[in-house]
Amino acid sequence: MLDTGKPNNTLYINNLYEKIKKDELKKSLSAVFSQFGRILDIVAMQTLKMRGQAFVVFDDIKSAANALSTMQSFPFYDKPLSCASSDTDRIGSTKE
């Protein structure tokens, strides 16, 4: 699922606080990641397998790369974010 060597416009974020509601999580992620560029989509699911993880889809690779280097270990709800380039850019079209 992750490819740290090949950047694209989709970031995989994990180590997220698991007890936050999906809508609040998406708003909070948008608030901290929008400083790097236009966000096309944020995919966060509350299934047992996907809890604590999200995908942030940027409009361009440069924004995603900047966010990746800046937000690594950023304290988010008292937990350090773990960020990586996703291995696919099709996450944004996935239905929740």
**Residue 95 confidence (pLDDT):** 44
Q: What is the pLDDT of residues 19-33, one digit of tens each?
A: 999 999 999 999 999
Bridge partners, residue 39, by sequence: 58
Task: Using only the alpha carbons of the chain, give its radius of gyration.
Answer: 12
**Residue 47 confidence (pLDDT):** 75
Quote the pTM value. 0.83
pLDDT bucket at 3, cuts 50 / 70 / 90: very low
Q: What is the pLDDT of residues 19-68, one digit of tens each?
A: 999 999 999 999 999 999 999 999 998 777 788 999 999 999 999 999 99
**Residue 58 confidence (pLDDT):** 97
